[in-house]
Structure 1
Amino acid sequence: MSPDAMVMHFVGASALILVAAHAAGWLARKLKQPYIVGQLTAGIALGPSLLGSLAPDAYDSLFPDGIGPALTGFAQFALVVFLFAVGYELDLKVLGSRARTAVTVALAAFVVPMAVGSGCALLFQEQLRDLGMPRDLSPAMVVFAGVALSITAVPVLTAIVRENGLARTVPGVVAVSAAGLLDVIGWTVLAGTMMDGAGDGHALGWPWRALLAAGFTALMLVAARPLLRLLLWGPRTRMEPSLRLALLIGFALGSAWVTHSLGLHVIFGALLAGVVVPREEGGTLDPELVRPLHDVSSLLLPFFFVVSGQSVALDTMDATGWVALLVVTVLAVTTKIGSGTVAARLGGLDRDDARTVGVLLSARGLTELIALNAGLQAGLLSEPLYTVLVFMALTTTLLTQPLLLLTRHLAERPRPAHSPPVPVADMG
């Protein structure tokens, strides 16, 4: 196939990806589900399992092997921009007077699923062999299994909180705050796991790479932040919005390249770049930066969903796979909701608010998919197990809204006179 023909194939595939993904996102929102759920479903549908099975000639024509690198490049670019925005918007100051409660909830909602996931990986190694995993799991694989159950999707959770009118309520604030802390903990553990799991392909051992990664992080925090503050907000150097956006996206891409070179995924460099970017005076977000970042990532993220969907293999889902999906989904929901609810209750929330926090933390969505994609690329997951975990992420996200409505229904029931709610003022 000539280069011109390949370019036109890419253009046609891009048109289909964008239209299908955003139409599915619109439909998901009409069904009271997060926009991202529709996009993820469209990405899977355009993969080899559905489109490739139902119309193999059309699939081969739309997605020939030659356009794979271009699709992957667009997907990685979208991922860097999206996670750069996540890092920029991450603000743990939102904890405020509820810091103790949020920290308690975050630790419980990470440690319990982490322990259950890692423990199950060790207990069921024989069953995991049927899903393509090796006989003896490496420590990185065991830890990654725990991380896969521990993740909460902050963007999806924030959207659910906003769309349900919970943004200014106690459970909404606690859930968003705890999810932000969970992000910090989860990505840190995942970074260590990825570095240990990707050691075979690098000349330097993981201790040296860990030391270089720590040095790069310190350099970013100590030197990059004040330099960016001078360039972006200095009285003589303040840039126009378009130039500022271009500079910062280039900064995020460079940071992602460095962490990838150290054996980490590009996601860590993108997040770090977002975290070190200074805010405006008073700590407020720059709307002229946030808005275009959201627009760019929203436009291009469907490429990431399609590339991720290429590795979803429904034809590998035999009886063992479907049983594994059921077990993993039940564990993912119960460990998150149970640990989050109990920790919120211990932190001073009443029964109904505590349940709401637990349900909100069970949403995984895009963040889970990013972690799973990174684990697959690092060789920590087989394709059959990756397929199981992708459907777990989709199912837990779909269940969040119905479970939230059920929690509201339970909260509206008359309370017994002898069990008044815990006053908000008593929270830590």
Structure 2
Amino acid sequence: MDSVITHVVAALAVVIAAAHAAGAVARRLGQPPVVGQLFAGIALGPSLLGLLPGGLHERLFPEQIQPILTSLAQVALIFFLFAVGYELDLGLLRHRKAVASVSVSGFALPMLLGAGIVLLLPEGFAEVNGGRPVDATFVLYMAVALSITAVPVLAGIIRDQGLAGTRPGTIAMASAGVIDALSWPVLAVVLVGGAHGSTREWAAKAALLVLYVAVMLFAVRPLLGRWMSRPAGRPAQRVPLAVTLALASAWATNALGLHVIFGALLAGVVMPRLPDGSPDARLLGPLRDAGGLLLPVFFAISGTTVVLGGLHASDLALLAVICAAAVVGKVAAGALSARGARQPWRDSLLIGVLLNTRGLTELIVLEVGLRAGVIGPRLYALLVVMALVTTAATGPLIKLLGRPAGPPSAPRDGGPATGKVPEVRTGPGLDPVPAGGAEPPPAP
């Protein structure tokens, strides 16, 4: 046990230092930190570190510490998804008809293209996926994988590019929230539908999942609201309560045959907010910080699974098809639907480009599919490369299109114009940023 603890401590030190250094380099290059952090994870895996003499990869990440690192990665995902669920706010949808149009198109068209390329090239996907069946579960999973937009990474890009508070930035952020809210339930259906066993067993598991969601929404949420509104309740007690809720809910969905992320996301959704409808920063901050600190472990685990040396030359053609479908689905859907809602062409293209950001959320979906056995290592590697390419392309494409001039104008879609510009929340590890890209004042 002493030897295992020594290896875990050393591995954590290397992983966290390498990931944050690579993230800082990526930010200097105008890229989201997640791009550099994932590259660091791949570099620490067999694709680079494993090629060096001396067995450095095996010595740094021996097999006996893999379960411990995987468990830490899952805890990081639980905290991260809880924060995402707690911050999920679709309030902008009621003010902007453009958001409804962009959301539906940005979700449906990429799903259709994802399913379409599988149905057009079933032999190619079966070969790259290790002979796994190209069935309805796989087709629906690929559709979801191409429909994802990474809300936290997108918020960081909007802040860094000075798009906070602009119409394209606001519409893209609200639409991305709706798209992800639609994608998670579909992914849950994929996992439940892909479970082995009889139809009766599948129906029982689906019924238990529906019952669990109902209990969380209509029983747990009111009880939490009463507890948090007690006069004697102290704010310091809310963080342990939130952590307990997130972990317990993650355990429940995992016991139902789903991934822990679904329970964590649902726990964040049912957690009561402040009376004004905003998340409690005293509760959210510690969970975001803890998740952000441990997420490099998830990147290391993801990078270890990516074996670029195992790819074949023929896989590059399929990678090009996947990337083309992913980019066209998001950019075309966002641009055409925004233009149909009477947005200017440049703003419409900018919305489509922003929706093409996949980042960390895509990696979570891929990790879920890999662990569930829906996809194999080769296809997983291709989809990780697709996530990197689409995320890294967002910044340069924004600069190519140019930043919209001026502050948000009165809505063209009939929604009420307001002088209040919404805050952009940037997810775990990043501070909320006021509209206009201005940094918050330093703490005293």
**TM bin (shorter chain):** over 0.9
- RMSD of the TM alignment (CA)? 1.7
Q: Cα distance, 1:424 vs. partner?
A: 4.4
1:371 matches 2:365: yes
Measured in 2, the distance between the counterparts of 1:224 and 1:19 equals 39
Kindly provide the CA deviation profile for residues 2-21 of structure 1, in whole angstroms up to 9, marking residues without a partner as x.
x1111101110110001000
Q: Cα distance, 1:80 vs. partner?
A: 0.2
Measured in 2, the distance between the counterparts of 1:77 and 1:423 equals 42
Matches within 5 A, 1:25-174: 25-55=23-53, 57-98=55-96, 100-134=97-131, 136-174=133-171
**Is the CA contact (8 Å cut-off) linking 1:114 and 1:149 kept in structure 2?**
yes
Measured in 2, the distance between the counterparts of 1:144 and 1:56 equals 39
Greater mean deviation of Cα atoms: 135-144 or 337-346: 135-144
Measured in 2, the distance between the counterparts of 1:355 and 1:32 equals 20
Tell me which residue corresponds to 2:412: 426
Tell me which residue corresponds to 2:14: 16
**Is the CA contact (8 Å cut-off) linking 2:44 and 2:300 kept in structure 1?**
yes
Aligned residue for 1:8, secondary structure, equals helix
Aligned residue for 1:199, secondary structure, equals coil
**Is the CA contact (8 Å cut-off) linking 1:125 and 1:135 kept in structure 2?**
no
1:288 matches 2:282: yes
Larger fraction in helix: 1
Measured in 1, the distance between the counterparts of 2:83 and 2:331 equals 27
Measured in 1, the distance between the counterparts of 2:48 and 2:191 equals 31
Measured in 2, the distance between the counterparts of 1:113 and 1:57 equals 42
Structure 2 residue identity aligned to 1:25: G
Kindly provide the CA deviation profile for residues 7-49 of structure 1, in whole angstroms up to 9, marking residues without a partner as x.
1011101100010001111111111111111111111111111
Aligned residue for 1:319, secondary structure, equals coil
Q: Would the alpha carbon gap of residues 427 and 260 (structure 1) be closer, same or farther in structure 2, given more than 3 Å must change? A: same
Structure 2 residue identity aligned to 1:335: G
Q: Cα distance, 1:169 vs. partner?
A: 1.1
Tell me which residue corresponds to 2:234: 239
Structure 1 residue identity aligned to 2:322: V
**Is the CA contact (8 Å cut-off) linking 1:130 and 1:320 kept in structure 2?**
no
Equivalent of residue 211 in structure 1, options 207, 210, 214:
207
Q: Cα distance, 1:79 vs. partner?
A: 0.2
Measured in 1, the distance between the counterparts of 2:132 and 2:385 equals 24
Q: Cα distance, 1:240 vs. partner?
A: 3.4
**Is the CA contact (8 Å cut-off) linking 1:233 and 1:280 kept in structure 2?**
no
Tell me which residue corresponds to 2:379: 385
Measured in 2, the distance between the counterparts of 1:65 and 1:423 equals 57
Measured in 2, the distance between the counterparts of 1:425 and 1:400 equals 25
1:188 matches 2:201: no
Measured in 2, the distance between the counterparts of 1:10 and 1:182 equals 37
**Is the CA contact (8 Å cut-off) linking 2:82 and 2:246 kept in structure 1?**
yes
Greater mean deviation of Cα atoms: 163-172 or 385-394: 163-172
The percentage of counterpart residues that share the same residue type is 46
Kindly provide the CA deviation profile for residues 241-281 of structure 1, in whole angstroms up to 9, marking residues without a partner as x.
2x321221111011011111111111110000000001011
Tell me which residue corresponds to 2:195: 198
Q: Cα distance, 1:208 vs. partner?
A: 1.1
**Is the CA contact (8 Å cut-off) linking 2:242 and 2:283 kept in structure 1?**
no
Structure 2 residue identity aligned to 1:318: H
Measured in 2, the distance between the counterparts of 1:140 and 1:80 equals 25
Measured in 1, the distance between the counterparts of 2:199 and 2:259 equals 17
Greater mean deviation of Cα atoms: 243-252 or 388-397: 243-252
Unmatched 5+ stretches in structure 2: 415-444
Greater mean deviation of Cα atoms: 37-46 or 60-69: 37-46
Measured in 1, the distance between the counterparts of 2:260 and 2:190 equals 14
Tell me which residue corresponds to 1:250: 244
Measured in 2, the distance between the counterparts of 1:282 and 1:426 equals 27
Tell me which residue corresponds to 2:434: none
* TM-score normalized by the length of structure 1: 0.93
Q: How many residues align?
A: 412
Q: Cα distance, 1:135 vs. partner?
A: 6.3
Q: Cα distance, 1:206 vs. partner?
A: 1.7
Please identify runs of 4+ aligned residues in structure 1 that moved more than 3 A.
Answer: 422-425
Measured in 1, the distance between the counterparts of 2:199 and 2:74 equals 24
Kindly provide the CA deviation profile for residues 380-416 of structure 1, in whole angstroms up to 9, marking residues without a partner as x.
101100000001001100000001111117x78xxxx
Q: Cα distance, 1:130 vs. partner?
A: 2.6
**Is the CA contact (8 Å cut-off) linking 1:80 and 1:270 kept in structure 2?**
yes
**Is the CA contact (8 Å cut-off) linking 1:85 and 1:293 kept in structure 2?**
yes
Kindly provide the CA deviation profile for residues 148-187 of structure 1, in whole angstroms up to 9, marking residues without a partner as x.
1111000011111122222211111110110010011111
**Is the CA contact (8 Å cut-off) linking 1:231 and 1:239 kept in structure 2?**
no
1:226 matches 2:212: no
**Is the CA contact (8 Å cut-off) linking 1:179 and 1:361 kept in structure 2?**
yes
Unmatched 5+ stretches in structure 1: 413-421
Aligned residue for 2:129, secondary structure, equals coil
Aligned residue for 1:234, secondary structure, equals coil
**Is the CA contact (8 Å cut-off) linking 2:31 and 2:395 kept in structure 1?**
yes
Q: Cα distance, 1:115 vs. partner?
A: 0.7
Q: Cα distance, 1:227 vs. partner?
A: 1.0
Kindly provide the CA deviation profile for residues 121-150 of structure 1, in whole angstroms up to 9, marking residues without a partner as x.
111111123313436412110111111111
Equivalent of residue 342 in structure 2, options 348, 362, 376:
348
Tell me which residue corresponds to 2:437: none
